[in-house]
A and B are shown apart, each in its own frame.
Chain A
Amino acid sequence: MAEPSRILRWTALWHEHVGNRLRRLCLSLAFAAAIAAAHLAWRGTLPARASAAALLLFGLVLGISLLLRERRALSTQRGAIRRILVPIEPELGARALRAEALSTRTETDPTAGSPELARAHFARVLDKVSVERVTAEARRRGARLAFVSLALVSAAFVAVAVEPMRVFEGFDVLVARRGVAPIPLSWLEALRVTVQPPAYLRATEQAILPWGAAQLPESSQIVVRGKPIREGRRLVLTDGKTEVSFVDDGADGVVARWKLQEPATLRVAARFGDVVILDPEALELVPVKDAVPEIELEGAPRTLSLKEHDRIEFEYLVMDDHGLERVELVLRSGAREERRMLLKLDGESKRERGAHALDARDAFLRRMFLPVVATIEARDNEKAKGERWGKSQAVTILPPAIGEPEGLRYAALESARDSLVLLLDQQMETERRKKQALPPAERKQRAEAEKELVAEVLKKLDAVTSNAYAGARLSTGLSTFVLGQARALRAKDVSRRRTEDVLLALDAALRGLGARDAAEVAKRLADAADEVADGARLALRSEKRSRGLERVALALGVLDQGSANLRRLSALGADLGSVAESEIRRIRRAEAAQSLGQVELVARHLAGRLRRPTPSFGSAGGNVESGKGAESPGPASEADKQFDQLMQELEQLAAQHAEQIRRVERSLEEADQAASAEELAAEAKEQADKLRRALQDLPNTGAQAGSARAAAALAREHMNAMAQNLERLALEDAVGNGSSAKDQIHQAERLAADPNRVNDWLDRNERDEIDGAKRPLDEALAWAEQALQRLRDKAAQNAARDLSDAADREDKFAERASNLAGRGSHSEARLPEDVEDSLERAESVMRDAARELASGRGQAGLELQREAQRLLERSSSGRTTDESEPQSSQNQESGDGSQGRKPAQSGEVPAAEQAERAAEFRKRVLDGLSKERRGRLSPAVERYAEGLLE
């Protein structure tokens, strides 16, 4: 056995000099590996992080394995010899190893030799080893290890010192899970967050706190600015799903923009490859969606029948969270829709109240046969997501059956006609009885009965001209015609002949009305037939079958009712109604056979037929493919045609007379211009200068009202105005000013002379100045009046020939008016009394106008012409064939066969709740009318205003 003590001694020495240093080296190695790993992991990519982790692990493992190897090596004799002796003295070391091996073998194997000898050999070998040499080697080895250790630690420290946070960040990134590092870090200082709302909100940018929570308008732009705390980091703004990079803002900072569409928790972060390190502070944002406008419609939802209303009022309140742009009235019926703008706004207003009235005679309502759903809809100013409309609850309007209003109106007029038939019969019966000597009592009774019948007829005629039948009224022209006929019955004793005339006239008008209405109703019924066809076509598609069948059933019901109403409208209506009913039966046969294709075909045929509302068979004379048929006797009365002819001539007269007025106006204007006051300019200037000099000493305004001084001051003002008008050669105005100035001077003198008005005295000087001003004023006024008259005379001379021609024409117009009035009172086409009066007055005024014009008094003649024109226009009521209702501006379709002038377009009359505004408007009109008027449009304005006030 060797001396264990030597080996132990070597081991102790080795531990002392190498062991500690080796441990330090291992620690340094681990430290350096960690720092290197952090730097590598900082890149953030998966390979980098994996490499960093591997490096760290390697360092740790290496260090530990070195230590373990050293310990293991020194734990056995052999190991110690190899570790310590062999590197120093290789030969001796080998011999020691062999000796140790022998010693060990002899311990276990007696045949190997003597253990004692082996041990002694081993000891002798060991004795040859120099302890000093071992110590020196251990020291040298230790020093080397210490150096390496120092180098590693130094390098690591340098790496940390240059960018200490990089190491921290690297570690943070290294241990990241799911792309997010566990330890948040701050990235920006001087952080500022501002919000820019969407442009349509027209709001300014505002700042918000960079942390916490906020509710902001949807689509707002969030702008985050700051200064990076550490350079070289790729900063982003993120909500965890999406990222927006920060970019240089050009002012040593960075900025990022975020569009807020959904709720988000925003944070600043730094991205390292696949990993982000978040900022500890977060900003929770919730977008506030732009709501569609809300509309409150008074009384909705409700259903009403159009028959029972002349107008339908819509009172609404529209509200929006940001701003309103447009408010519309939307009418829907079946597949049809019409939109009408009520308000167009600038997007600022968030609340609007309004009202709209829909006339029962509105063209859209009249055309519809299915229920009309009316809503008020509004759009706000948000456009990014397309048009979004808020909608009110609905008002459902049930239109009358097609043809019902026309049928009611026709029946009313027919009833009046039938009453006339009874009256005629009564009169004829009386005549027959008279031939047989009628007893007085019976005669009286019959007379009473006749009067009652006349009264009944007149009552019916009055009613039919003033009533509306589910919105349908007689046209103005036809009403005038009927009233004219009624007038004939108001005579004291209505003769049989007169009754016949009136009866036949009304009969002709009734048949004409019936035929026109039948044509119009037929066309509307065609729309219902189309609806049947469309419904059948839709039902052919299996997925829409029930909806299609529903449309067919609804429209067939409308057709049934409509055709029944059509049949009542004169012979044409009876014909077309009969055709419609026959085709409806054919449709129903096809329906019963479940052949929707045939339903569609028949419905289309019916629609085509109704759109051509001519008689089923019409021929003026000979029939082709056969001989001639029977002739009819021709029209029994042409009163309606005569009336229309009368009205046409009246319209022509009014138009030509208006042209005549324009010619006279032009003549006078040209004459005025020709009779220019250019040559008077110098004199006028002179007069003006005199006036100015004279008024200088008059007092200025400011004195007590009602005093002499105040009157004098007013005189000064008027004189000043007069001077200006003289210079402008506005002689008429100058005369007016002069008269006013004179009046004020007179006032001043009177007030000053009143002994009771102590304060109104003027001192002698001022009275002298007043006296001084009077003379120039009088002279100027006289001059202006004379000059004005000279000018007028000259103008009249210039215009004399034109005025003379105009007078002749005016006389001819008067004759024509007289002729029309005469025809209107004596022919079958009677005019109502007021119309006849207007015509007669127009004639009289025209004659006066002619006289004035002939005398050269152009202005006076012109005024009378204008009055005559007003009377002519008042008399003209339109023809019996005119449309019954005015068209709205949105629906300008003119029906087939519509002749005669179109009535004026309807305007929107302020509804009741706008009465205050309407009253104010009327007041302004009246105020305006009361003022002095100028200009060529004044007469038209006057006529219009008078019409308003009537």
Chain B
Amino acid sequence: MIRTPRLFAATLSLGAALVALPAASVLGAGKSRVAEVSDAITEIDVKRAEALLADAGGESRSLSFERARLAIYRGDCDAATATLASPDLRETREGADLAALAESCARATVAGFVLEDQPRGIWLRLQDDADRALAPYVFDVAARARDAITRTLGVDLPRPLRIDLVRDQYSLSAVSGLPVAAAETTGTLAVARWGRVIMITPRAATLGFPWEDTLAHEITHLIVTRATRDYAPLWLQEGLAKRLESSWRAERPFDDRAWADTVARRALENGRSIGIDQLGPSIAMLPTPEAASIAFAEVTSFIGYFLRDAGEPALRMLLADLKGIGARSAEPALRSVTGRSLAEWNAAWQKDLAAAPQPAPGARPPQVPFTRDTARRARLSDLLLEQGRAASAAEVISPVLVPELRDPSLRFRVARAELDAGNQSEAQKALGTLSEIHSVYGAWFALHGRFLRAQGDLAGAEQAFDVGIAVNPLSEDVACEGERAPKGELATAKLPTDPSRSALCRAARDRVRH
């Protein structure tokens, strides 16, 4: 019989507490440490994740998994492969998937060339060491883009920023895990995954591509991922990335800010709209390049509308809320920040799009389509020029020059042929001015820069060269500031004075030499 029930109850409670608390602390601490590490990695805070893992003590399957994941984020796929070699990890689905990724990544990246710009906090790994000449440019663009976009979004990005520059889509697939068929179908140039930017080198595309904006686009993805702990929906990721990919730099010719609204409206009108909530797991996995283009336009237009309507502070709050709520859907955060659901926003945006005035003509003048005759002349001119028959090359290609011709590549061909034939003035006339072309073509801008420099407009020339390098840095015309080495005289040909550009020019000529 208990004589003092109160004393008994107190003793019992104390005993229970004494047992429960340590148990709770043991259970609670272990689970939360893995989650902490995982979150740190997702937020691309490599140093913090390393510190947490160092403090973790003990070993568990989950911790090993996170260790491997961290290695991948650091770019050390070889180490990740070793960690994931454990049968314990490979037994699980996610362990097996990560192991496969680590192995293919290791194959594509081991013995690569690593360059670091420590002051600016950029880590660059080159699969093809022949891309070394690009490194200064990559560092510069990456640093400027990162700094500008982090300021815009109010989010920092821990250093270093890691970039893998790969040789081809096969390697892109190996390093990122994106299926190669999907990459080839949609023409994927870069992805932001595993805390890194993985981008194809501009040397892979014969006619180049706007790699600077592509790099900035992917950096934006990393920043948004960090800001939201990867809870941002795809429309927000892609919309922001597309919108901000050129925000870090000064405006360039043919930066068409209205293109997104134009394309989105057209898609809505002719029933080819993708829908901002129907993007699937990735735009890169949409079935056609056209679908991908429309998707980009729609999300960009939508974000533009969001910002116009809700403002930048709302955007920052939305990012923070997404991270805080941690839900897979953006609905709660969207409602919380703006008071509206996605469907309501979507409707509002479509209404706004439909009501907006048509864009002014002339922003992108209509293009004269390529005819068969044009193609013939272009090819004949190229063949003649390769054999050093500049006069005949010029004669063959010059008839394509009609007043409506706005294709910069054709104008460039004509100008090049005239220049090689010794007709400088004809070349300049043929090349035309900015108002006589409709898009960016690297070699056109390089030659344009050369002509501007000859006229004494050094600033204009530099700007032109920069535009060229921004799209096709390893073209000889672009890298060598419009100067081509005569056949057989590659070794002694003129080089740009700037050391970086000189290295780029040499690299471009090495490509030609082969």
Residues on A facing B (Cβ under 8 Å): 417-418, 421-422, 424-425, 428-429, 432, 500, 503-504, 507, 567, 571, 574-575, 577-579, 582-583, 585-587, 589-590, 593, 595, 598, 601-602, 604-605, 608-609, 612, 614-637
Does A625 contact B409, Cβ atoms closer than 8 Å? no
Q: Which chain A residues lie closer than 8 Å to B130 at the CB level?
A: 578, 582
Question: When A and B form their complex, which 8 residue pairs have the shortest distance between CB atoms, in order from nearest?
Answer: A619-B187, A636-B379, A616-B168, A605-B107, A616-B204, A582-B128, A622-B289, A626-B214
Q: Is B293 an interface residue (CB 8 A)?
A: yes
Determine the distance from Cα of A586 to Cα of B112 in the docked complex, in whole angstroms.
Answer: 6
Q: Is B501 an interface residue (CB 8 A)?
A: no
- A625 contact from B205, B218, B374, B511, Cβ within 8 A: B218
Flag B167-206 by CB within 8 Å of A: 1 or 0 each.
1111100100000100010111111000000001001111
The smallest C-beta distance from A34 to any residue of chain B, in angstroms, reads 83
Does B107 contact A625, Cβ atoms closer than 8 Å? no
Does B389 contact A630, Cβ atoms closer than 8 Å? no
Residue on B nearest A621 in the bound complex, by CB: B289
Q: Which chain B residues lie closer than 8 Å to A567 at the CB level?
A: 514
Determine the distance from Cα of A633 to Cα of B189 in the docked complex, in whole angstroms.
Answer: 22
The smallest C-beta distance from A417 to any residue of chain B, in angstroms, reads 8
Q: Could you pull out 15 A-B pairs where Cβ atoms are within 8 angstroms? A: A418-B387, A421-B383, A422-B387, A429-B392, A586-B112, A605-B108, A612-B180, A616-B167, A617-B205, A623-B209, A624-B283, A626-B190, A628-B439, A630-B439, A630-B440
Residue on A nearest B190 in the bound complex, by CB: A625
Q: Which chain A residues lie closer than 8 Å to B395 at the CB level?
A: 428, 432
- B380 contact from A422, A618, A636, Cβ within 8 A: A636
Residue on A nearest B182 in the bound complex, by CB: A624
Determine the distance from Cα of A623 to Cα of B188 in the docked complex, in whole angstroms.
Answer: 6
The smallest C-beta distance from B316 to any residue of chain A, in angstroms, reads 24
Q: Which chain B residues lie closer than 8 Å to A428 at the CB level?
A: 391-392, 395-396
Determine the distance from Cα of A567 to Cα of B440 in the docked complex, in whole angstroms.
Answer: 29
Q: Which chain B residues lie closer than 8 Å to A622 at the CB level?
A: 186-187, 289-290, 292-293
Interface residues of B in 99-135 (CB under 8 A from A): 104, 106-108, 110-113, 127-130
Q: Which chain A residues lie closer than 8 Å to B292 at the CB level?
A: 622, 624
Q: Which chain A residues lie closer than 8 Å to B384 at the CB level?
A: 421, 424-425
Does B78 contact A598, Cβ atoms closer than 8 Å? yes
Determine the distance from Cα of A627 to Cα of B112 in the docked complex, in whole angstroms.
Answer: 28
Q: Which chain A residues lie closer than 8 Å to B205 at the CB level?
A: 616-617, 629
Q: Which chain A residues lie closer than 8 Å to B214 at the CB level?
A: 623, 625-626
The smallest C-beta distance from A359 to any residue of chain B, in angstroms, reads 33
Flag B371-388 by CB within 8 Å of A: 1 or 0 each.
010111011100110110
Residue on A nearest B184 in the bound complex, by CB: A618
The smallest C-beta distance from B291 to any residue of chain A, in angstroms, reads 9
Which of B187, B205, B376: most chain A Cβ within 10 A? B187
The smallest C-beta distance from B96 to any residue of chain A, in angstroms, reads 19
Q: Is B284 an interface residue (CB 8 A)?
A: yes
Q: Is B8 an interface residue (CB 8 A)?
A: no
Known contacts A424-B380, A424-B384, A625-B191; 18 additional CB pairs below 8 A are: A417-B383, A425-B392, A428-B396, A574-B514, A590-B111, A605-B171, A616-B167, A617-B204, A618-B184, A622-B186, A624-B187, A625-B188, A625-B190, A625-B218, A626-B245, A628-B439, A629-B209, A630-B409
Q: Which chain B residues lie closer than 8 Å to A583 at the CB level?
A: 167
- B189 contact from A571, A577, A586, A625, Cβ within 8 A: A625
Q: Which chain B residues lie closer than 8 Å to A598 at the CB level?
A: 78, 110-111
Interface residues of B in 376-417 (CB under 8 A from A): 376, 378-380, 383-384, 386-387, 389, 391-392, 395-396, 407-410
Determine the distance from Cα of A503 to Cα of B383 in the docked complex, in whole angstroms.
Answer: 9
Q: Which chain B residues lie closer than 8 Å to A432 at the CB level?
A: 391, 395
Chain B interface size, as a band, is: 35 or more
The smallest C-beta distance from B44 to any residue of chain A, in angstroms, reads 18
Does B375 contact A633, Cβ atoms closer than 8 Å? yes
Determine the distance from Cα of A743 to Cα of B289 in the docked complex, in whole angstroms.
Answer: 85
Does B389 contact A425, Cβ atoms closer than 8 Å? yes
Q: Which chain B residues lie closer than 8 Å to A626 at the CB level?
A: 189-190, 209-211, 213-214, 217, 245
Q: Which chain A residues lie closer than 8 Å to B111 at the CB level?
A: 586-587, 589-590, 593, 595, 598, 602
Q: Which chain B residues lie closer than 8 Å to A601 at the CB level?
A: 78, 106-107, 110
The smallest C-beta distance from B200 to any residue of chain A, in angstroms, reads 6
Flag B326-350 by CB within 8 Å of A: 1 or 0 each.
0000000000000000000000000
Residue on A nearest B255 in the bound complex, by CB: A627
Determine the distance from Cα of A583 to Cα of B112 in the docked complex, in whole angstroms.
Answer: 9
Does A630 contact B441, Cβ atoms closer than 8 Å? yes
Determine the distance from Cα of A403 to Cα of B320 in the docked complex, in whole angstroms.
Answer: 58
The smallest C-beta distance from B189 to any residue of chain A, in angstroms, reads 5
- B207 contact from A429, A602, A630, Cβ within 8 A: A630
Q: Which chain B residues lie closer than 8 Å to A417 at the CB level?
A: 383
The smallest C-beta distance from B241 to any residue of chain A, in angstroms, reads 8
Does B174 contact A579, Cβ atoms closer than 8 Å? no
Does A623 contact B383, Cβ atoms closer than 8 Å? no
Residue on B nearest A609 in the bound complex, by CB: B170
Determine the distance from Cα of A574 to Cα of B510 in the docked complex, in whole angstroms.
Answer: 12
Q: Which chain B residues lie closer than 8 Å to A609 at the CB level?
A: 168, 170-171
Determine the distance from Cα of A64 to Cα of B362 in the docked complex, in whole angstroms.
Answer: 151
Q: Which chain A residues lie closer than 8 Å to B180 at the CB level?
A: 612
Q: Which chain B residues lie closer than 8 Å to A635 at the CB level?
A: 375
Does B168 contact A579, Cβ atoms closer than 8 Å? yes
Residue on B nearest A611 in the bound complex, by CB: B170
Q: Which chain B residues lie closer than 8 Å to A628 at the CB level?
A: 293, 439
The smallest C-beta distance from A315 to any residue of chain B, in angstroms, reads 45
Q: Which chain B residues lie closer than 8 Å to A429 at the CB level?
A: 391-392
Q: Which chain A residues lie closer than 8 Å to B380 at the CB level?
A: 424, 500, 503-504, 636
Determine the distance from Cα of A341 to Cα of B383 in the docked complex, in whole angstroms.
Answer: 51
Does A620 contact B110, Cβ atoms closer than 8 Å? no
The smallest C-beta distance from A208 to any residue of chain B, in angstroms, reads 68
Q: Which chain A residues lie closer than 8 Å to B112 at the CB level?
A: 586
Residue on B nearest A586 in the bound complex, by CB: B111
Determine the distance from Cα of A133 to Cα of B95 in the docked complex, in whole angstroms.
Answer: 125
Does A629 contact B207, Cβ atoms closer than 8 Å? yes
Determine the distance from Cα of A571 to Cα of B127 in the docked complex, in whole angstroms.
Answer: 21
Interface residues of B in 121-161 (CB under 8 A from A): 127-130
The smallest C-beta distance from B132 to any residue of chain A, in angstroms, reads 12
Q: Is B208 an interface residue (CB 8 A)?
A: yes
Determine the distance from Cα of A425 to Cα of B210 in the docked complex, in whole angstroms.
Answer: 36
Q: Which chain B residues lie closer than 8 Å to A571 at the CB level?
A: 206
- B290 contact from A574, A605, A615, A621, Cβ within 8 A: A621
Q: Which chain A residues lie closer than 8 Å to B104 at the CB level?
A: 605
Interface residues of B in 419-472 (CB under 8 A from A): 439-442, 471-472
Q: Which chain B residues lie closer than 8 Å to A587 at the CB level?
A: 111
Known: A421-B383, A582-B129, A582-B130. A614 touches B207 (CB 8 A): no
Determine the distance from Cα of A552 to Cα of B400 in the docked complex, in whole angstroms.
Answer: 54
Does B290 contact A617, Cβ atoms closer than 8 Å? no
- A633 contact from B113, B187, B370, B392, Cβ within 8 A: B370
Q: Which chain A residues lie closer than 8 Å to B127 at the CB level?
A: 582, 586
Residue on B nearest A619 in the bound complex, by CB: B187
The smallest C-beta distance from A302 to any residue of chain B, in angstroms, reads 37
Q: Which chain A residues lie closer than 8 Å to B511 at the CB level?
A: 578
- A620 contact from B168, B187, B408, Cβ within 8 A: B187
Which of A604, A605, A628, A631: most chain B Cβ within 10 A? A605
Does A617 contact B189, Cβ atoms closer than 8 Å? yes
Q: Which chain B residues lie closer than 8 Å to A421 at the CB level?
A: 383-384, 386-387, 389
The smallest C-beta distance from A563 to any residue of chain B, in angstroms, reads 10
Q: Which chain A residues lie closer than 8 Å to B186 at the CB level?
A: 619, 622, 624
- A627 contact from B169, B213, B391, B408, Cβ within 8 A: B213
Determine the distance from Cα of A589 to Cα of B126 in the docked complex, in whole angstroms.
Answer: 13
Determine the distance from Cα of A615 to Cα of B187 in the docked complex, in whole angstroms.
Answer: 11
Determine the distance from Cα of A714 to Cα of B296 in the docked complex, in whole angstroms.
Answer: 98
Determine the distance from Cα of A583 to Cα of B111 in the docked complex, in whole angstroms.
Answer: 10
Does B387 contact A425, Cβ atoms closer than 8 Å? yes
The smallest C-beta distance from A432 to any residue of chain B, in angstroms, reads 7
